[in-house]
Amino acid sequence: MNVVREPYGFVHTETSKIKETYGGPTGRVFVECMRIRPETGDSKTVILFSHPIGGGSFLPLVTALARAGRHVIYCNPRYRGNDTALIMEKCLLDLGACIADLKTRFGYEKVILGGWSGGGSLSLFYQDQAEHPTITETPAGDAVDIKGAGLQPADGIMLLAAHISRSVTMTEWLDPSVTDESRPFDRDVSLNIYDPACPEKPPYSPEFVARFRAAQIARNRRITAYAKAELEKLRATGKGDQERCFTVQGTMSDVRWTDPTQDPSDRPPYTCYLGDPVIANDGPVGLGRFTTLRSWLSQWSYDESRANGIVNAGRISCPVLVINNSADLACTPSHAQRLFDAVASTDKAFVNIEGADHYYTDRPDLLPKATAAVGEWLDARNFI
């Protein structure tokens, strides 16, 4: 079936004094979208994909669903391609504005959120606040009126190769051997699993894994404490609207990469979705490598970020489908299972695509299986 791609955009207003994106007038936000649909055939239901930094309109599954007759929209929030200063709460505003726009622009009646990878926790965060709006400020204390935004709840959520959240994933990948952020390359050899001198070798003992995980959380909390303290200093000197930028080294260190017995799956060992984890650990495209005080608290902080799939999933009521790709290098099986277990909805389903990688690039032959699983789930709930 031929697929038609229709790029479009819309503008919505915002009252925030603080601007985190380059260009454009203050108080107005441009959201870029693409509708991907079959050449013929109408639909009352649309699958709406989004991700905090967007960029997935050409994902294999997105295109495959359109070829299978589904209508799909990919929404790129304002932070398209750059999460340096990203505020998760503002992603909700962009996603909510997209839902309102697509219903009037195209006449769709049902909206299913397609939570791919990092879009999974975004979808759960959105639905939580659409069903139970409470937020009036960011974790940094800046005003953001989610409560009064009138977010329209989605009719269903699909968590597709999704992880728990950016904050939890960051913490599980944070290099615990960094004990001083001002000297990030002076590392504790006893926790540096990439150092040949590290006394711990895979398969790791439960005691070492527990120590490793605790040290990761402790490091995240140290950075969070720094971000809070710096913001307080700015406010104390009358500079509360100013921001400070910083770097975070060592963000791809996980015992799962070097020990295949940790969170076992069909993924190949000694690699990650960015390639060699030793290189990615300090490479330029690691999670949170360049960030800001406010963005750290909203996006990466283990304790302060509200976009936590486990917490948000426990407060939603719509139907949920969870698909786990068993050879996924980014979102391992425990994430899919933890999300499924946390979902409060009585209508929830779990599908395992054995052998599938994160993007279906290594196993395109498994893409039809995933497409069929999504289609069967949609049809069973009359999302036509």
pLDDT digits (tens, 9 = 90+) for 199-248: 999 999 999 999 999 999 999 999 999 999 999 999 999 999 999 999 99
Above 90 in pLDDT, residue 1?
no
Above 80 in pLDDT, residue 275?
yes
pLDDT digits (tens, 9 = 90+) for 147-199: 999 999 999 999 999 999 999 999 999 999 999 999 999 999 999 999 999 99
C-alpha to C-alpha distance for 215 and 210, rounded to whole angstroms = 9
Cis peptide before 364 (omega within 30 of 0): no
User: Domain ranges in the chain?
Assistant: 3-165+305-380, 173-300
Contact 248, 288 (CB under 8 A): yes
Residue identified by tokens 């669903």 is 65
Q: Give me Rg for the CA atoms of the chain.
A: 21
Q: Which two tokens stand for residue 97?
A: 């504005």
Q: Does domain 3-165+305-380 have CATH number 3.40.50.1820?
A: yes
Above 90 in pLDDT, residue 351?
yes
Above 90 in pLDDT, residue 24?
no
Above 80 in pLDDT, residue 99?
yes
Q: What is the dihedral of CA 113, 102, 367, 128, to 10 degrees?
A: -10
Residue identified by tokens 């009359």 is 382
- The percentage of residues in the chain with a pLDDT greater than 90, rounded to a whole number, is 95
Residue identified by tokens 């959240």 is 165
